[in-house]
Structure 1
């Protein structure tokens, strides 16, 4: 099945399909699906195919994978509209996140529809039309990231970028039976994003599987000086399912389903599934979370939305969707005193919420309390939209990360989903938990109900008492200096590659060694390496014995992780042979042995 990111990359590497063929297939599917409201603009097909054909490095983590981008995120040369034609502009450079996707081998297909200025959870507030929900076509597609979620669910692209300020990366995931990953704030750069609420925005990922979402997140994660809200927060490796998992659930009577018995039953069944998987359920008080959610639209944060479009509101108010205009104009009213009062209350609520997580690994909630038809939402646009945010509006205010997962198909044919929430920085931990739950449901993927792939094994990891070190040259398995690792009881974890940020040089040393130099992001090659785990004491002995011009620095891996590893002093490469094209020391030495 070449539908998931992992399967597409594997097919390209094995040459059973080419990146150009996969990109062409996406365009064919877009034409066949024939819903003009999904994409606001499509990239020229031949340009995209040509870019795919130019890819030459099969080690790239997203080698030839087509991706759709929500149209409030900049893609060079394509208009950014935020679903408002009067606001549109054409950026000359990619957003940071798009640049990182391209460097990882992804091919941008087009810009997707959204609730105008990312204001809404319904997907019906756009002059570009309402994307049809491919799972059940009378339901809203969810918003604001409507086009991105539908494009993934319908099989047009294997993953897509959304944004999430108040649930826009999670509610559409539930309504389209796909995965929605809402990362920790600041983990992905927002440089090149049209803001909704700058202090709360994050770029999110829609995909068919959790592993695909994490693979996409890994190449996008990382601090960025161009975004003042960016944080230097390493993603970390995919975590294994905990042996003693504790999940927080609201106290009896605290959940709200607005009379939707099927949603309530589906949530209860999801909790039973967690218990079958070995989780212990621990009750916590949801009321402080509800109070936080009320701050988002009843408090001064609406002023952030107003700030983005106040000039357009003043000059061309009719250019803005009526519902968006009604919500946003309220942002002109809060005073500075109102803002500080809300910030003080929020800080108190954050402390209360943080205590909830001392008793559990994560909390599990319905992604949304119910589902609504497009007709119902158009008739009652603000109230029903607000209901869909019952379990999402508080998340970014409390600085949590989230993972929305398909949980069931209801008897009425509507999807139901749950969301795992944890404190910021637990993204990989949530993925390790959530992937097991999703696989256990055996639900079909997206609207096409494709079979789930077998769950890949979690790679071996260093323990809490070990340090991971990346080796690229003579310390590789079977090479001249590997014994320096094995005599210190180091153990091999995995083979992987660096990000395309490095060049490799053959140094004039005995025994022969390479030197790996960090260059500008994306301007180098992906270099094969091995990750080894060793005790802290052994790591200290090993590092102390490293002779110049080599030293230990922080290596960025192709999947976004970081590890300590060998780098070379820049002065040492003068006159050294650039062997980056070999992709690694082992290939270079094998070629040299033939001479």
Structure 2
């Protein structure tokens, strides 16, 4: 299979080379019988050249190259509204095609990390649709059952991953295009906080809402790719330096819609109910209902409000000059943009602001919103007969997310009674990307072997280093106070040999006190964590007497902030310095 950990293990043990991997990919594509997945592919001779260069690096650097290039030798695909230098960008419209001289920022970052681009994938034209059928290159058939739609607009990208043709792929997501195809093809679809991944080099659908999304087989794979692809891009005016929320460590408070809608699809309704029943059995999960009306009403604005006018930016000039060059369903949607005025745009913003406030109030006190990824799974023939109605149904649980600046992660759920997939999506506030990935892996991938909770994105804000010695150590009862604030462990080390450690009396949970001394000191085991500076004050405010934060000297001579103790509390405490650290003391016989 094409899971990233599997590929990296094979490269590490010598059972696979990049050249062999590329040949396997080409053989699978040839035997798949799914030409509709691709709009263009990288020249095979160029692919083999790229693979041979990676072979050389693996031979010369050994395992070191796997650490240096985190996506070494991983085949991937990109949706054909994302630029790749030297390859046509069509947005599934041949008359619109152009050949960029430079790749999109996300593609540059992935290739710089060692990933191997295989080709560009089919989509609903101009990324306008959630069905995967609105393309002159042909409808993209579902990976599980070809009689059903694949979902769109990132249809080819999702199916390429679902069929194991590539390790991961890029899509885009304005109204759900990075989640609906994931749900319908039983894979993972990561839709980041808007602005987390650069959209420079992406043909806009609704530029103020567009996101680049990631398809993968597992949550861990999608998160590993996002760690490479994410990051501020000064060339993209919509890129933002987003502060991250840390993963949950005390259980999950989950909201679900009080008004669940499945449009008569009993199998989808039963699959979601079965999934909820299993979550309710977990001790670490509480589930309550909230009013879904503000989310539903915001979703309707995307195609029944002035935002449809944004779609005129990319498709409008071609539609005016060559109306027959645009897919008729897409043309009908885009033309609606001319019906709105500047006044309508402001009225839409006012309505959206009120709905966003109502949604925030509904979600107050909850960590995430959980919804079916799609309420139903239509057949291909039904969508071709009712293209607008059934497309609208597929966006019932997705259209609002970018309006509200939220992050979302679509994952496989319980299988339907008819054997078809029934995906679910966790949705969180902007900046909850890491928390979502950790929660989705914990709740829906019980057998996962690559936890993402300890793999945060790089900091893009001021931080402070903090030494912890007791209940805040990794695995100890108060460690959540660091992790949920987005802290990450830097090193396990020791203090300078001028400290003594004491077991304090009457503390819950049990805590030690650390004191600097002038003689008979010792080196004490500690951990140094890095914490966002904006969260440091509230962390300090939670520290009970007799503990506090001061400056602490490390074994290497550096000084960092760290836990200290009032001298009065040490007077009647047990001196546990000979144990060398809190964990060793807790393990005493």
User: Into which bin does the TM-score normalised by the smaller protein fall?
Assistant: 0.7 to 0.9
CA shift, 1:258, in A, is 0.8
The match for 2:198 is: 189
The match for 2:426 is: 420
Secondary structure at 1:76 match in 2: coil
2:239 paired residue among 205, 230, 241: 230
TM-score, length-scaled by structure 2: 0.78
The match for 2:121 is: 112
The match for 1:520 is: none
1:164 paired residue among 169, 173, 185: 173
RMSD of aligned residue pairs (Cα, Å): 2.8
Q: What do the CA deviations read for 1:307-338 (whole angstroms, capped 9, x no partner)?
A: 22221111111100000000001101210000
Aligned residues: 487
Matched, 1:61 2:97: no
Matched, 1:364 2:373: no
Matched, 1:491 2:527: yes
484 and 300 in structure 1: CA distance in 2 versus 1, 3 angstrom threshold = farther
CA shift, 1:180, in A, is 0.7
CA shift, 1:542, in A, is 6.1
The match for 1:243 is: 250
Matched, 1:85 2:94: yes
423 and 85 in structure 1: CA distance in 2 versus 1, 3 angstrom threshold = same
458 and 354 in structure 1: CA distance in 2 versus 1, 3 angstrom threshold = closer
CA distance in 1, matches of 2:524, 2:39: 58
Q: What do the CA deviations read for 1:65-123 (whole angstroms, capped 9, x no partner)?
A: 00010000011111111000011111111110001101111111100000000000000
Secondary structure at 1:409 match in 2: coil
CA distance in 1, matches of 2:66, 2:376: 43
The match for 2:220 is: 211
Question: Contact (CA 8 Å) 2:249, 2:480: kept in 1 or not?
Answer: no
The match for 2:262 is: 257
Question: Contact (CA 8 Å) 1:218, 1:235: kept in 2 or not?
Answer: no
> Which residues of structure 1 form unaligned runs of 5+?
441-451, 495-534, 553-595
CA distance in 1, matches of 2:244, 2:107: 18
CA distance in 2, matches of 1:458, 1:299: 39
Matched ranges for 1:323-338 at <5 A: 323-338=329-344
The match for 2:154 is: 145
The match for 2:4 is: 5
CA distance in 1, matches of 2:124, 2:318: 17
Matched ranges for 1:270-289 at <5 A: 270-278=275-283, 279-289=285-295
The match for 1:291 is: 297
264 and 320 in structure 1: CA distance in 2 versus 1, 3 angstrom threshold = same
CA distance in 2, matches of 1:411, 1:73: 37
The match for 1:532 is: none
The match for 1:200 is: 209
311 and 488 in structure 1: CA distance in 2 versus 1, 3 angstrom threshold = farther
CA shift, 1:44, in A, is 1.2
Q: What do the CA deviations read for 1:116-142 (whole angstroms, capped 9, x no partner)?
A: 000000000000011221201100010
Question: Contact (CA 8 Å) 1:136, 1:413: kept in 2 or not?
Answer: no
- Largest Rg, 1 or 2: 2
Question: Contact (CA 8 Å) 2:408, 2:428: kept in 1 or not?
Answer: yes
CA distance in 1, matches of 2:524, 2:110: 38
Secondary structure at 1:491 match in 2: strand
The match for 1:508 is: none
Secondary structure at 1:122 match in 2: coil
CA shift, 1:14, in A, is 2.7
The match for 1:32 is: 31
Question: Contact (CA 8 Å) 1:221, 1:235: kept in 2 or not?
Answer: no
CA distance in 2, matches of 1:91, 1:484: 62
Question: Contact (CA 8 Å) 1:77, 1:93: kept in 2 or not?
Answer: yes
Greater shift in the superposed pair: 535-544 or 406-415: 535-544
> Which residues of structure 2 form unaligned runs of 5+?
58-64, 455-473, 500-521, 531-546, 562-589
Secondary structure at 2:77 match in 1: strand
CA distance in 2, matches of 1:428, 1:115: 29
CA shift, 1:438, in A, is 2.4
Matched ranges for 1:510-525 at <5 A: none
540 and 70 in structure 1: CA distance in 2 versus 1, 3 angstrom threshold = farther
The match for 2:164 is: 155
Question: Contact (CA 8 Å) 1:439, 1:455: kept in 2 or not?
Answer: no
Secondary structure at 2:413 match in 1: strand
1:322 paired residue among 320, 325, 328: 328
539 and 43 in structure 1: CA distance in 2 versus 1, 3 angstrom threshold = farther
Matched, 1:121 2:126: no
Question: Contact (CA 8 Å) 1:222, 1:234: kept in 2 or not?
Answer: no
CA distance in 2, matches of 1:406, 1:131: 20
Secondary structure at 1:344 match in 2: helix
437 and 468 in structure 1: CA distance in 2 versus 1, 3 angstrom threshold = closer
42 and 358 in structure 1: CA distance in 2 versus 1, 3 angstrom threshold = same
The match for 1:268 is: 273
Question: Contact (CA 8 Å) 2:374, 2:394: kept in 1 or not?
Answer: yes
CA distance in 1, matches of 2:488, 2:433: 20
541 and 296 in structure 1: CA distance in 2 versus 1, 3 angstrom threshold = farther
Secondary structure at 1:189 match in 2: coil
CA distance in 2, matches of 1:493, 1:262: 47
TM-score, length-scaled by structure 1: 0.77
The match for 2:471 is: none
2:139 paired residue among 116, 119, 130: 130
CA distance in 2, matches of 1:134, 1:54: 32
Secondary structure at 1:161 match in 2: strand
CA shift, 1:384, in A, is 0.7
CA shift, 1:161, in A, is 0.5
The match for 1:177 is: 186
Question: Contact (CA 8 Å) 1:78, 1:90: kept in 2 or not?
Answer: yes
Question: Contact (CA 8 Å) 2:250, 2:480: kept in 1 or not?
Answer: no
CA distance in 2, matches of 1:540, 1:345: 52
